[in-house]
DNA sequence: GCGGAATGTAGAT
DNA sequence: TCTACCTTCCGCT
């Protein structure tokens, strides 16, 4: 479930199991990362870092494994001893206590410090970062100058890093903003509240390892509906709920293609 | 078993 | 705006 909260959670989980815990056995059962795995095999892991949807495993001060899960990538952790890997495991780490498998990533590459910096430089601020890569003003500078829709801008990783299709749909609903509104018509106050909300929602996402966006007053319990968890693992207002009733107004949730992805919104609650 | 879809992005056109 | 790519899972035959 790879939006930014997933990646930050993975950084935390990789570090907890492997960083500062001695040599790591590094392999690539699937083969596409074999050369780099051989170079790293037996090295200790120093740290793990995340910016938006990019994950970095720091093996030596200047050597990083750059991972991007894309749409399909998955990471699974387990205890030692590791079971025999399946033939889709791109990267496996093992130590005496744990193992972790990476499958289906868009990117899994050994990079230098300079290359890592270049990745940071092309990404917008990340609501989950507290350093200079988490400054919302950098995002608003672009949004406030753009005629592109706010829905497209939120998905543009150069503008904001870490927001994906679920958080985009949900945060726009929570702020009653029409997804087709041009970025330049978003006021500073609106952007401040959207950003603050993304920080809260995504931190909660890291903690719970799922996306929940429904406010207490709109939960199934509060609205007298049966409890429910959406099939992506949380409770949401609009994401993948096309044709079903809005939790707030009862109107029909709509969907449309936007920038090659499915957009979901409530046309009644989110007016221009 | 097959086709389609899925929380993503880069590169070509 | 499109296409390709990485993998899994679900619904349909």
The pLDDT score that the predictor gives to residue A61 is 76
What's the pLDDT at A227? 67
Burial letters A130-146, b for 16+ CB under 10 A, else e: eeebbebeebbebbeeb
**Once rounded to an integer, what is the mean pLDDT over residues A50-60?**
96
- Kindly report the number of other CB atoms within 10 A of residue A53's CB atom: 25
What is the mean pLDDT of the segment spanning A150-166?
Answer: 97
Chain B bases closer than 7 A to any CB of the protein = 6-10
Structure-block tokens of residue A32: 């596409």
Q: Name the pLDDT band for A230 (thresholds 50, 70, 90).
A: low
* pLDDT, tens digit (0-9, with 9 covering 90-100), for A137-157: 999 999 999 999 999 999 999
Indicate whether A228 pLDDT > 80.
no
Catalogue all structural domains in chain A, each as residue range(s) with its CATH number: 4-121 (3.20.190.10), 132-265 (1.10.8.50)
Lookup: nucleotide whose C1' is closest to A68 CA: B8
Structure-block tokens of residue A80: 């030692």
Q: How confident is the model at residue A272 (pLDDT cuts 50, 70, 90)?
A: confident
C1’ C9 / CA A31, Å: 24
Nucleotides of C under 7 A from a protein CB: 1-8
Task: Give A221's pLDDT tier (boundaries 50, 70, 90).
Answer: confident
What is chain A's mean pLDDT, rounded?
A: 94
Contact A195, A136 (CB under 8 A): yes
Annotated catalytic residues of A are 2-3, 53, 261
Q: Could you give the percent of chain A with pLDDT greater than 90? A: 90
- C-alpha to C-alpha distance for A68 and A52, rounded to whole angstroms: 10
What does the pLDDT read at residue A225?
A: 73
pLDDT of residue A258: 86
Of residues A236 and A62, the one with the higher pLDDT is A236
What does the pLDDT read at residue A231? 63
Q: Is the pLDDT of residue A229 over 70?
A: no
Q: Which residue, A215, A196, A202, A214, is CA-closest to A140?
A: A196
Give the pLDDT mean for A160-169.
Answer: 97
- Using the CA of A71, which nucleotide's C1' is the nearest one? B8
Statement: the CB of A85 is under 7 Å from strand C: no
Name the least confident of A87-91, A97-101, A134-138, A259-263. Answer: A259-263
Which has the minimum average pLDDT: A43-52, A59-68, A75-84, A214-223?
A214-223
Region A25-44: what's the mean pLDDT? 97
Strand C closer than 7 A to residue A28 Cβ: no
Cα(A121)–Cα(A203) distance, rounded to whole angstroms?
Answer: 23
Q: Tell me the C-alpha to C-alpha distance, in Å, between residue A258 and each of A66, A148, A237.
A: 29, 11, 19
Segment A231-237 shows an average pLDDT of: 79
- pLDDT average, residue stretch A2-16: 97
Whether pTM exceeds 0.85: yes
């Amino acid at each position: 479930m790879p939006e930014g909260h997933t990646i930050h959670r993975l950084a935390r989980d990789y570090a907890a199991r492997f960083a500062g815990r001695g040599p790591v056995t590094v392999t690539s059962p699937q083969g596409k990362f074999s050369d780099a795995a051989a170079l790293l095999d037996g090295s200790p892991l120093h740290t793990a870092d995340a910016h938006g949807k990019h994950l970095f495993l720091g093996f030596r001060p200047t050597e990083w494994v750059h991972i991007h899960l894309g749409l399909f990538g998955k990471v699974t952790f387990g205890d030692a001893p590791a079971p025999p890997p399946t033939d889709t495991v791109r990267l496996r780490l093992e130590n005496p206590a744990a193992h972790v498998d990476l499958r289906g990533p868009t990117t899994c590459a050994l990079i230098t410090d300079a290359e890592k910096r270049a990745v940071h430089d092309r990404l917008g601020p990340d609501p989950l970062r507290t350093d200079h890569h988490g400054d919302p003003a950098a995002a608003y500078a672009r949004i406030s100058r753009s005629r592109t829709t706010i829905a497209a801008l939120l998905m543009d990783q150069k503008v904001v890093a870490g927001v994906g299709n679920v958080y985009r749909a949900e945060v726009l609903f929570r702020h009653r903003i029409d997804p087709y509104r041009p970025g330049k018509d978003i006021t500073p106050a609106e952007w401040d509240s959207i950003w603050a909300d993304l920080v809260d929602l995504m931190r909660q996402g890291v903690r719970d390892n799922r996306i929940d966006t429904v406010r207490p007053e709109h939960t199934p319990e509060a609205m007298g509906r049966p409890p429910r968890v959406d099939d992506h693992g949380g409770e949401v207002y609009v994401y993948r709920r096309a044709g079903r009733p809005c939790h707030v107004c009862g109107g029909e949730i709509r969907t449309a293609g936007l920038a090659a992805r499915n957009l979901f919104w409530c046309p009644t609650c989110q007016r221009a």
